[in-house]
Amino acid sequence: MSSKVGIIGVGMTKFGELWDRRYRDLIVDAGVDAIKDAGIEGNQIGGMYVGSMSPGLFAEQEHVSALVADYSGLAGIPATRVEAACASGGVALREAYLAVKSGEMDIVVAGGVEKMTDVPTGSAAVALMGAGDQEWEAFKGATFPSLYALMARRHMVEYGTTIEQISQVAVKSHDNASLNENAHYGFKVTLEQVMNSSMVADPLRILHCSGITDGAATVILASEEKAKELVDDPVWIKASALATDTIALHDRKSLSKTEATVLAARKAYKDAEIKPEDVDFAEVHDAFSIAEILAIEALDFCDFGEGGKLTQQGETALKGRIPINPSGGLKGKGHPVGATGIAQAIEAVLQIRGKAGDRQVKGAETGLIHNVGGSGATCVIHILSMEK
């Protein structure tokens, strides 16, 4: 059993409307870059986990584990596709972590990919709604914007959260994304632009919602012995925690709290032997701007009901007390659902290495990444840091 598991290489494509790129091209390109970053050869890789939510509906391609291994020149190794809705990438990372931690493998690839823009928007919405309850939500006409709109309204009623505070999340995310060369929506927006953008599901407007994006991301994990042998700056995974909640909103204890995040965070902090205040930055799942507020409360960065105020006061900005989504998050960077959890890990690695460029968080030594499936039915959290 490996006492520690490190990330030794990272690679990702640009996120965006990549109509000239095939599904297989995206994940192969990201994987090649990660292998180069780690300074290893393909024949050193012992296994692969690929997060992809709905390649059949988006790209008419199933059996993607064998496809990716084949086109990466790695046919023969154990390869597994992982699906957990929008948390597919994060759970792929966790499965790779467990494979190394158990001692089964020394070097493992964790990747994520989605090609979402080759189908009409309506078809993409149908595919995405597969992450909800088909009988009780999708069949009744619910969409993910409408589910998160319900959560936003309840939070506003219970805590007095304002649409200005929710909108400020989007403003901050786009500010950060403007510093990220791989971001899909790398442009700044004003509070007025967000609040006057087209209505999607009251109170959420188009600039509160992540878009339809293509992209891929890959990381290379290694055992402690291999990591120290191969690179000078491994970033260690201090904790990996996974929790679930009911899939349908109407069965939950609360619409204004995400219980799976509470449970996963509690275990992650315990396993990493840290407290929330020890986290220097976090990449959280902001598929909708209200989701970031729900996340920072459930992660115990502030009290429940205080997330909107924390954002409005600038505490979650790059130079704030707890920078949230320095990459631009799902809202600004983009959200190719299977790739998101891996892209979060890459941002954490860059920040901890001190190689995040203009969006570098000062003193970034410990980072938390938070990846959610559906409206919160799955949550996977990892805590990463450099060895001190």
Please list the active-site residues: 86, 335
SS (H, E, C) the chain: CCCCEEEEEEEECCCECCCCCCHHHHHHHHHHHHHHHHCCCHHHCCEEEEECCCHHHHHCCCCHHHHHHHHCCCCCCCEEEECECECHHHHHHHHHHHHHHCCCCCEEEEEEEECCCCCCHHHHHHHHHCCCCHHHHHCCCCCHHHHHHHHHHHHHHHHCCCHHHHHHHHHHHHHHHCCCCCCCCCCCCCHHHHHCCCEEECCEEHHHECCCCEEEEEEEEEEHHHHHHHCCCCEEEEEEEEEECCCCHHHCCCCCCCHHHHHHHHHHHHHHCCCHHHCCEEECCCCEHHHHHHHHHHCCCCCCCCHHHHHHCCCCCCCCCCCECCCCHHHHHCCCHHHHHHHHHHHHHHHHHCCCHHHCCCCCCEEEEEEEECCCCEEEEEEEEECC
